[in-house]
Amino acid sequence: MSNKNRRGSSSSSGSGCDACGAKKLSLLEIEAISAVKEVAAFVQSICISEVLSRTTDLIFLNLHTLEGICFVYFL
């Protein structure tokens, strides 16, 4: 995988769009998106898990190192 996987909103403020029905991001979601952006240049890939459920208190990150080792981190 040469592409960096990044998931999240294009808005870092976490504000939702009332007109389009987009939900507001929780503080944890904003922090997770920030962590993905910070680490992406130093790993093969990193993304917020789409398989494991997330809540306002728990988010899982999938990470593949440059050496090809896979990890799942939770915040």
Q: Return contacts of 8-14, CB within 8 angstroms, 24+ apart.
A: 8/32, 8/33, 8/36, 8/48, 9/33
Beta bridge partners of 70: 64
Spatial separation of the C-alpha atoms in residues 11 and 14, rounded to whole Å: 6
pLDDT tens, residue by residue, 1-60:
444 444 433 334 444 455 666 678 899 999 999 999 999 999 999 999 999 999 889 999
Q: For the whole prediction, is pTM greater than 0.75?
A: no
pLDDT of residue 56: 84
As given in the structure block, the two tokens for residue 72 are 């799942």
pLDDT tens, residue by residue, 51-66:
999 988 999 999 999 9
As given in the structure block, the two tokens for residue 37 are 């952006």
